[in-house]
A and B are shown apart, each in its own frame.
Chain A
Amino acid sequence: MKLSTPHLLGIKDLTREDISLILSTAQQFKEVLQRPVKKVPSLRDVTIVNLFFENSTRTRSSFELAERRLSADVLNFTAGASSVAKGETLLDTVNNILSMKVDMVVMRHSASGAPHFLAKHIPAAIVNAGDGINEHPTQALLDAFSMQEKTGKLEGLKVAIIGDVMHSRVALSNIYLLTKMGAEVTVAGPPTLIPKYMADALNVRVEYNVKKALQWCDVANVLRIQLERQSQPLFSSLREYSLAYGINRRLLESLNKEIVIMHPGPINRGVELDSDVADGPSSIILNQVENGVAVRMAALYLLANRQN
């Protein structure tokens, strides 16, 4: 089986079959990662550039590890120390890298649609590692993988996405993926951090009361407050945010039910999530990180046009 698309620009463009294929391939790679020798030769003829125009530690490390586990040659390119700081355009930067015979581009960029722009102009396969406030497809895939692993299903699963939905590419990718796979989604957070047309555009419920959302859901995916992406103040203070929307043990215990807690990281401890929840028994946050490598291996492997 093959993916229906030559790039991984967003979950929006994937079919249900694509998503299932990536998740089942990831399962196989997860098994590989349990072996003493965690490496396979699948992409030994492939060169991949990790092009990060925004700071990232975990996503970049996860991609790099996935690439090395597949035996690909890896080139890391970070914007700060590069030609971008000298005013080079994105297209020039990428074309220069491609002249060195690079086959795939993994890109993170602060502008929504940047990988879509690149896909129109360059011949290499592109993996979106996060574009602006649009999508972060591999995060949604690893979240889905982790939810499925923990709960045994996606179909019919009730997932609450809580926090700064407006500035979160994780939220949008998760919503696309979960609704395509038959899960139900509620987004919850302050009204200024939830796009006005959310419910109509994406077939989700909107809830401004976090406790009600938690009471409803099986899984709560708690988002990071993206202070760096807010161009204007959208809530009064972190203190008030934490009081009204933060998730703590007392809140979870008041639910009289068990729910799974997820977070894409990095956590603002004490803001959106208290440490006793983040590190508590309901949390699968570190499983998400672990699964990230297997899921990214699957995506890269399938995009390199290797049949599964």
Chain B
Amino acid sequence: MKILLRQAFIADPASSFNGTNQDILIDNGLVVNIEKAITTGIDHSVTIIEKEGLTVSPGWVDVFSHFCDPGLEYRETLESGAAAAAAGGYTQVFTLPNTQPVVSNKTQVQYIVQGSASLPVSIRPLGTVTRNAEGKELAEMYDMYNSGAVAFSDGIHPIQSPGLLLKALLYVKAFDGVVIQVPVDESISKYGLMHEGIVSTRMGLPGIPAIGEELLIQRDLELLKYTDSKLHFTGVSTAKGIELIKKAKAEGLQVSCSVTPYHLTFCDEDLQDYDTNLKVTPPLRLRSDMMALRAAVLEGVVDNIASHHLPQNWDHKTCEFEYAKSGMISLQTAYAAVQTAIPELTAAQVAALFGGNAARIFGVSTSTIEKGAAASFTLFQPKASFTFTQAANKSKSANSPYLGKELTGKVAGTIYKGQLHTL
């Protein structure tokens, strides 16, 4: 397949064409030419992409998605998750191990790696840190790493025991692994249903205090300092949490962090109608936290946007708020939500937040926009608007507060393994 990108703005710091508009010709999965204007070799077999504000960056990487497969296929499968990811501009996705069974050994890792071979994105499983994510003893991380696990996390059940996390951080150093934690102290958050504050008090819902997140981050950073290992926080939701990470980075710790698109878009005030689609973990925080996260994204303290894509079926969301399950589908709207929340975000920042930084932190390869390189790219239009509809939704689930909302910042498609995936 031959693809020609007309006048695409290149957002790739590793490319000599970075920051310029070029024509890019791709043939059989390889970049064959980059020029100001390509005129030769354009016959009827070439698919030409010519769009207002077309921008191209190395393929995006999501580091925290639930594909629910195996075991919870009524919510999502590797196929439907991959389709949603491709439509969201991703070429690589790290999937969470909280499936049934849990991805806690070589066999489970291989099921996912092999299952994604013919899909439009590369699925990289996260293995659990502890056996079956039970938080009791270390899982066979070295074996899982050698089988294709990209990093390690107990996912939605972050490690609570400091002693165990300390051992895990030491253990992964043998193979330069990274541990991912969602900053939730379950002893504090256990009975809460939303952020503890004025809004929760007025709504009569038990709260989840911000201090739970702050304590866990502070504690984990101390463990990181002691072990000199690598730790990634994802879903950071509080201003103070970000501040702690910023300070630790300045001290030279190997810490990195992600925030979700929805923590940049919504805050606790949006829950006043008991909208179950906005029930997420960590919870939506204060408006001031949301603004602090946006500032941290622009400042570069936040390394990555992690979708935290979590499909839930209709009856787990169409019920009483207390009984509703947590999470939302997010892959397909991640970029649009972030670009809408932070309009001043540049294409270079988008490329870093959605792919470049994750590739660096987790040591996964991405392509470079140069002649001769393998083409695994994301195409997007920062100024284009669209409305996210159920007809366009590729996920098996529909638990999204963005449905029916107009968003600015549109993914035009991806190029992956020589194939063009457009919307």
Q: Residues of A at under 8 Å CB distance from B?
A: 12, 89-91, 109-114, 116-117, 120-121, 131-135, 169, 172, 195-198, 200-202, 231-232
Contacts and interface: CB of A to CB of B under 8 A. Distances in A.
Interface stretch (B92-100, B159-167, B197-205, B246-254): B197-205
Range, interface on chain B? 20 to 34
Contacts of B319: 89-91, 117
B313 interface: no
A112 B198 contact: no
Contact of A121 (B191, B205, B318): B318
Contacts of A12: 202
B191 A90 contact: no
A112 B202 contact: no
Nearest to B197: A197
Q: Which of A133, A134, A197 has the most CB of B within 10 A?
A: A197
Contact of B320 (A111, A172, A195, A198): A111
A132 B203 CA distance: 11
Contacts of A90: 319-320
B315 interface: yes
B203 to A, nearest CB: 7
Interface of B: 190-191, 193, 196-207, 209, 273-274, 276, 315, 318-323
A114 B202 contact: no
Nearest to A91: B318
A202 B206 CA distance: 15
A114 B323 CA distance: 10
A121 B191 CA distance: 27
Given A133-B206, A195-B207, A197-B196, A112 B201 contact: no
A202 B202 CA distance: 7
Contacts of B202: 12, 201-202
B322 A132 contact: yes
20 contacts: A89-B319, A111-B321, A111-B323, A112-B203, A112-B321, A113-B204, A113-B205, A113-B321, A114-B321, A116-B273, A117-B320, A132-B204, A132-B322, A134-B205, A169-B204, A172-B204, A197-B207, A201-B197, A201-B202, A202-B202
Q: Which of A110, A111, A120, A172 has the most CB of B within 10 A?
A: A111
Contact of B198 (A110, A111, A121, A201): A201
Contacts of A197: 196-198, 200-201, 207
A28 B31 CA distance: 84
Residue picked from B198, B200, B204, most chain A C-beta under 10 Å: B204
Given A133-B204, A172-B204, A201-B201, A113 B322 contact: yes
